Chain A
Amino acid sequence: MIKQYKKSILLAAFVSVFLVDTLIAQTVIDSAIIITKGSFSGIKNIAFGTQPAQQVTGAISTVTGASLEKNFNLNLGNTLFGRLPGVTTTQGGSEPGQGVPNLYVRGINTFGGASNSPLYIIDGFISNGVGSSNTFMQLIPEEIETISVLKDASATALYGARGANGVILVTTKTGKEGALKVGFSSRQGFNQAQSLPKFLDAQNYSILFNEALVNDGQAPRFTQADLDAYRDGTDPVFRPNVNWYDQVLKSTSPVSSYNLNFSGGDKTVRYFGVLNAITSQSLLKKFGDIADESTNSNYTKYNFRTNVDINITKRLAVEFKVAGAIEQTNNPNAYNTGGTFDLLQSLAPNSFPIINPNGTFGGNAQYSNPYANLLATGFFQNNTRTVLSSLKLIQQLDMITPGLNASVAISSNNYFEQGSIKSKNYARFSLTKGPLGDTIYSNPIGQLTTLAGSEQTVDQYRNLIFQGALNYKRTFGKSEVTGLIMFNNDQVTLFGPSSNPSNPTANSTDPYKHNSSAARFTYAYDNKYLAEFSLGYMGSEIFAPGNRYGFFPAGSIGWIASNENFLKKSKQINFLKFRASYGQTGNDIIAPQGLPTRYAFTPTFGGAGYNFGTANNSFAGFGENAIANNNITWEKEQHLNIGLDATFFKNFDISFDYFNRNRKDILVASNRTTPLFLGVNTPNLNLGKSSTQGFDLSLRYSNNNKKDLQFYIEANVSYSKSTIVYNAEVLQLNPGLLNTGLSVGQPIGLVAIGFYTPADIAQRLVDLKSVPGVLTEVIKAGDIKYLDFGGPNGTPDGIIDGNDRRAIGNPSIPRLIGGLNAGLTFKGFDLNLIFNASFGNTSYLGGTVFHAFQNNGQVGPIALGRWTPATAATADYPRLSAINNQNNYQFSSFWQRDGSFVKLRSAELGYTFPAKVTNRLKLNSTRFFLNGTNLFSIDNIEFGDPESLGGYPVMRTITVGFKIQF
Chain B
Amino acid sequence: MKKIKFFAPILICFIVLGSCKKNFLDKPPGVDLTEESVFKTRVALDQFIATTYRYSMHSVFRYGVQGTIPFSGVNNTDCIQPSTTISDEGDASDANFVNNNRWNEGVIQPATIVNHEDFRYFIRWIAMRQINLILKRINEVPDADAAYKKQVIAEVKFLRSMNYFEMLKRYGGMPIITQIFEPGVTINAPRNTFEECVNFALKDVNEALPDLPASHPAALAGRTTAMAAHALKAKILLFAASPQYNTANPIISMPNSSENKLICYGNFDANRWKLAIDAFKAALDYAAANGYSIIDIPANRNPNELNNGTVGPLGNYRESWENPNNPEIILKYQHTREAGGITNIGSPPVTYINASCFGSFWSGMTMPLNFISKYENRVTGNAENWTGGGTDLIAKYNSLDPRFKQSVTYTNAYHTARDPIAQIFNGGKDYVNCRGGVWIRKSIPRSATNASFVLNDILFRVNELFLYYAEALNEFNTAPPIEAYSAVNVIRARSAMPNFPSGLSKDQFRQKLRNEIAIELLNEDHRFWDVKRWLIAEEEGVMKGSMTGLLINRVGTTPNFTFTWQPYVFETRTFNKNMYLHPLPLNEVLKGNLQQNPGW
Do residues A510 and B30 form an inter-chain contact, with CB atoms below 8 A?
Answer: yes
Bound CA–CA A506/B27 (angstroms): 13
Bound CA–CA A868/B9 (angstroms): 83
A899 near B: Cβ within 8 Å? no
Do residues B71 and A676 form an inter-chain contact, with CB atoms below 8 A?
Answer: yes
B360 near A: Cβ within 8 Å? no
Interface-lining segment among A59-67, A625-633, A761-769: A625-633
Query: In whole Å, how far is B220's beta carbon from the nearest beta carbon of chain A?
Result: 5
Do residues B33 and A677 form an inter-chain contact, with CB atoms below 8 A?
Answer: no
Bound CA–CA A397/B34 (angstroms): 52
Check A468/B51 contact, CB under 8 A, given A513-B24, A612-B334, A614-B221.
Answer: no
Do residues B184 and A631 form an inter-chain contact, with CB atoms below 8 A?
Answer: yes
B594 near A: Cβ within 8 Å? yes
Bound CA–CA A626/B70 (angstroms): 9
Check A679/B223 contact, CB under 8 A, given A513-B25, A674-B187.
Answer: no
Q: Is the interface of A mostly helix, strand, loop or mixed?
A: loop
Interface-lining segment among B12-20, B205-213, B520-528: B12-20
Q: Mark B254-276, 1 if CB is under 8 A from A, else 0.
A: 00000000000000000000000
Of residues 704 through 746 on chain A, the ones whose CB sits less than 8 Å from some CB of chain B are: 730-733
Of residues 597 through 654 on chain A, the ones whose CB sits less than 8 Å from some CB of chain B are: 599, 602-631
Q: Which of A599, A623, A685 contacts B51 (CB 8 A)?
A: A623
**Count of A-B contacts with CB under 8 A?**
223
Bound CA–CA A631/B133 (angstroms): 22
Q: Mark A664-683, 1 if CB is under 8 A from B, else 0.
A: 00000001011111111111
Do residues B221 and A629 form an inter-chain contact, with CB atoms below 8 A?
Answer: no
Do residues B30 and A506 form an inter-chain contact, with CB atoms below 8 A?
Answer: yes
Check A611/B593 contact, CB under 8 A, given A393-B10, A466-B17, A599-B27.
Answer: no
Do residues B44 and A612 form an inter-chain contact, with CB atoms below 8 A?
Answer: no
Bound CA–CA A621/B46 (angstroms): 8
B295 near A: Cβ within 8 Å? no
B453 and chain A: residue at smallest CB distance: A616
Q: Mark B176-204, 1 if CB is under 8 A from A, else 0.
A: 01000111100101000000000000000
Do residues B336 and A676 form an inter-chain contact, with CB atoms below 8 A?
Answer: no
A399 near B: Cβ within 8 Å? yes
Bound CA–CA A397/B27 (angstroms): 38
B35 and chain A: residue at smallest CB distance: A603
- Chain A residue numbers with a CB within 8 Å of B218 are 613-614
A515 near B: Cβ within 8 Å? yes
Q: Count residues on chain B whose CB falls below 8 Å from chain A CBs.
A: 80
Q: Which of A393, A505, A604, A626 contacts B9 (CB 8 A)?
A: A393
Bound CA–CA A315/B2 (angstroms): 11
B431 near A: Cβ within 8 Å? no
Do residues A548 and B25 form an inter-chain contact, with CB atoms below 8 A?
Answer: yes
Q: Count residues on chain A whose CB falls below 8 Å from chain B CBs.
A: 76
Query: In whole Å, how far is B277's beta carbon from the nearest beta carbon of chain A?
Result: 33
B222 and chain A: residue at smallest CB distance: A612
Q: Mark A392-407, 1 if CB is under 8 A from B, else 0.
A: 0101010100000011
Q: Which of B6, B35, B593 contacts A316 (CB 8 A)?
A: B6
Interface-lining segment among A135-143, A160-168, A539-547, A848-856: A539-547
- Chain A residue numbers with a CB within 8 Å of B334 are 610-613, 616
B382 near A: Cβ within 8 Å? no
Do residues B128 and A620 form an inter-chain contact, with CB atoms below 8 A?
Answer: no
Do residues A489 and B125 form an inter-chain contact, with CB atoms below 8 A?
Answer: no
Do residues B129 and A679 form an inter-chain contact, with CB atoms below 8 A?
Answer: yes
Do residues A605 and B34 form an inter-chain contact, with CB atoms below 8 A?
Answer: yes
Check A612/B593 contact, CB under 8 A, given A312-B6, A678-B125.
Answer: no
Do residues B125 and A621 form an inter-chain contact, with CB atoms below 8 A?
Answer: no
- Chain A residue numbers with a CB within 8 Å of B396 are none
B588 near A: Cβ within 8 Å? yes
Check A615/B454 contact, CB under 8 A, given A468-B14, A628-B183, A630-B183.
Answer: yes
Query: In whole Å, how far is A797's beta carbon from the nearest beta carbon of chain B?
Result: 11
A262 near B: Cβ within 8 Å? no
Of residues 294 through 348 on chain B, the ones whose CB sits less than 8 Å from some CB of chain A are: 324-325, 334-338
Check A507/B50 contact, CB under 8 A, given A395-B7, A616-B454, A677-B175.
Answer: no
Do residues B48 and A623 form an inter-chain contact, with CB atoms below 8 A?
Answer: yes
Bound CA–CA A676/B10 (angstroms): 57
- Chain A residue numbers with a CB within 8 Å of B26 are 541, 545
Of residues 464 through 506 on chain B, the ones whose CB sits less than 8 Å from some CB of chain A are: none
Bound CA–CA A679/B70 (angstroms): 10
A218 near B: Cβ within 8 Å? no
Check A675/B593 contact, CB under 8 A, given A616-B337, A623-B52.
Answer: yes
Q: Which of A510, A608, A618 contacts B68 (CB 8 A)?
A: A608
- Chain B residue numbers with a CB within 8 Å of A468 are 10, 13-14, 17
A214 near B: Cβ within 8 Å? no
- Chain A residue numbers with a CB within 8 Å of B590 are 731-733
B109 near A: Cβ within 8 Å? yes
Do residues A622 and B183 form an inter-chain contact, with CB atoms below 8 A?
Answer: no
B432 near A: Cβ within 8 Å? no
Interface-lining segment among B53-61, B135-143, B439-447, B571-579: B53-61
Do residues B54 and A609 form an inter-chain contact, with CB atoms below 8 A?
Answer: yes
Check A622/B10 contact, CB under 8 A, given A506-B30, A679-B181.
Answer: no
B13 and chain A: residue at smallest CB distance: A408
Do residues B21 and A631 form an inter-chain contact, with CB atoms below 8 A?
Answer: no
A793 near B: Cβ within 8 Å? yes
- Chain A residue numbers with a CB within 8 Å of B535 are none
Check A679/B50 contact, CB under 8 A, given A605-B35, A612-B334.
Answer: no
B residues with CB within 8 A of A? 2-3, 6-7, 9-10, 13-14, 17-18, 21, 24-28, 30-35, 37-38, 44, 46-48, 50-55, 57, 68, 70-71, 109, 111-112, 121-122, 125-130, 132-133, 175, 177, 181-184, 187, 189, 218-223, 324-325, 334-338, 454, 586-588, 590-591, 593-594
Other A-B contacts than A489-B24, A674-B187, 11 sampled, CB-CB below 8 A, are: A513-B25, A539-B25, A545-B26, A605-B38, A608-B68, A611-B336, A623-B130, A624-B130, A679-B127, A685-B183, A733-B586
A residues with CB within 8 A of B? 312-313, 315-316, 393, 395, 397, 399, 406-408, 466, 468, 487, 489, 505-507, 510, 513, 515, 539-541, 545, 548, 599, 602-631, 671, 673-683, 685, 730-733, 792-793
Between A and B, 21 residue pairs with Cβ closer than 8 Å are A468-B13, A487-B14, A487-B17, A513-B25, A605-B37, A610-B50, A610-B51, A610-B57, A612-B223, A613-B334, A614-B325, A615-B454, A625-B70, A675-B588, A676-B588, A677-B189, A678-B125, A679-B132, A732-B590, A792-B109, A792-B111
A-B pairs, 10 with minimum CB distance: A679-B129, A623-B51, A609-B50, A731-B590, A622-B47, A621-B51, A679-B125, A541-B25, A605-B33, A611-B334
